């Protein structure tokens, strides 16, 4: 197990508490392995009827993967070939698959920051999930900020959002709040922060089998308090702009709109990696036609190519290591990105029988 993850069984519920507050619970390989071991042990345990995942801190459920680790491991020789880096993404994506198809209720308390890899451990499947957001929730798939792409199953769950919502979230990497999370379908119920004590008390008093109903009853009086969704207000413009067909066309469409929503989206996209925005668009278009396992296998291929290219290493250098906020993207502009360059990110790395996630179904 891990000192960064508290694991226990109480009242027929398996409890996972992420406990790396200084790093906003950024996932290490050790943490991924602890989560996987607990969930596998509980999957067929007759003493466990439900699972709760939450944080020891109100600041974040999980801010994503440990990107400083990505950087250090990715710079190891040969570039992108670190065995630990390979292990991390293989095991993280296998964990995402395990969570999606978990046979018991999977309750995620999405309090505080929930981004990237945090979404991967919170976005379970439609048959088992109960995703709770609060007034502190700050949700995003911000991978394009660091020259990566929306992984951890993002090619599956973003591509299935209504209209162009998934493409907007994936290409801009912008943060949304509880109201927007509920509107997009990336969350189920809202609880104000003042009710978190009552929620924890519920965990201690209610057997696992009854938790989903009890939580929904607790949350029911507060749903209107989540407020209005800004994405709902901007939805018509969002769908119009982000259906333009290419990253360049989307940005051109946004540039013709003098509204605040379009200006914010365009400003964000101007900072992102032109190549990885183009890869993200292709990823979500492909993901819309694939099942969960095939989406994760595709992402595993793309992440391997991503580290070999080095775009993510430059993104992490600029935002986290040197903190100059001036990434030198390659290519530097969309004009330098062509279809063949994007297609290379999807080229098979392994024969099908040797893919590290070949056993997922």
Distance CA 263, CA 14 (A): 45
Distance CA 151, CA 42 (A): 26
Catalytic position from the list 14, 64, 65, 287: 65
Q: Catalytic site residue 151?
A: yes
Catalytic position from the list 143, 180, 282, 311: 143
Q: Catalytic site residue 65?
A: yes
Catalytic position from the list 49, 66, 92, 151: 151
Number of Cβ within a 10 Å radius of residue 276? 30
Catalytic position from the list 64, 74, 117, 208: 117
What is the sign of the dihedral through the CA atoms of 143, 144, 147 and 148? positive
Distance CA 133, CA 33 (A): 25
Cα-trace Rg, the chain: 20
| Whether 122 contacts 112, CB under 8 Å | no
Residues composing the chain: 361
Q: Catalytic site residue 361?
A: no
Residue 17 main-chain phi, psi, to 5 deg: -120, 115
* Helices then strands, each counted (H, E), the chain: 16, 9
Q: Which of 272, 289, 287, 275 has the alpha carbon at shortest distance from 345? A: 275
What is the sign of the dihedral through the CA atoms of 289, 188, 48 and 57? positive
Q: Catalytic site residue 282?
A: no
Q: Please, how many CA atoms are within 13 Å of residue 167, restricted to the half-sphere of its CB?
A: 25
To the nearest 10°, the Cα dihedral for 67, 72, 74, 75?
A: 140
> SS3 for 220?
helix
Q: Which residues are catalytic?
A: 65, 117, 143, 151
């Amino acid at each position: 197990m891990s000192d960064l993850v508290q694991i226990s069984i109480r009242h027929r519920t398996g409890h996972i508490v992420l406990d790396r507050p200084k790093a906003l619970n950024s996932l290490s390989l050790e943490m991924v392995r602890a989560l996987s071991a607990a969930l596998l042990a509980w999957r067929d345990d007759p003493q466990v009827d439900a699972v709760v995942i939450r944080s020891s801190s109100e600041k974040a459920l999980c801010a994503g993967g440990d990107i400083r680790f990505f950087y250090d491991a990715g710079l190891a020789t040969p570039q992108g070939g670190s065995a630990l880096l390979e292990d991390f993404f293989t095991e993280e994506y296998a964990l995402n698959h395990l969570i999606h198809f978990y046979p018991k209720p999977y309750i995620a308390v999405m309090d505080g920051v929930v981004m990237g890899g945090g979404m991967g451990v919170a976005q379970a499947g439609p048959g088992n999930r109960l995703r709770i957001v609060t007034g502190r929730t700050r949700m995003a798939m911000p991978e394009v900020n660091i020259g990566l792409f929306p992984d951890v199953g993002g090619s599956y769950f973003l591509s299935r959002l209504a209209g162009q919502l998934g493409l907007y979230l994936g290409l801009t990497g912008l943060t949304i709040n509880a109201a927007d999370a509920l509107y997009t379908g990336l969350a189920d119920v809202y609880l104000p922060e003042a009710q978190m004590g009552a929620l924890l008390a519920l965990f201690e008093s209610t057997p696992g089998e009854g938790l989903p109903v009890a939580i929904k009853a607790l949350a029911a009086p507060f749903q209107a308090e989540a407020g209005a969704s800004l994405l709902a207000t901007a939805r018509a413009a969002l769908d119009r702009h982000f259906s333009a067909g290419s990253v360049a066309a989307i940005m051109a469409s946004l540039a013709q709109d003098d509204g605040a929503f379009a200006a914010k989206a365009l400003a964000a996209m101007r900072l992102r990696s032109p190549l990885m925005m183009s890869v993200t668009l292709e990823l979500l278009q492909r993901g819309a036609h694939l099942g969960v396992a095939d989406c994760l296998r595709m992402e595993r291929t793309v992440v391997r190519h991503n580290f070999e290219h080095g775009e993510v290493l430059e993104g992490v250098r600029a935002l986290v290591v040197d903190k100059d906020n001036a990434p030198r993207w390659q290519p530097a502009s969309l004009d330098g990105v062509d279809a063949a360059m994007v297609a290379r990110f999807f080229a098979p790395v392994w024969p099908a029988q040797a893919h590290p996630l070949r056993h997922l179904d």
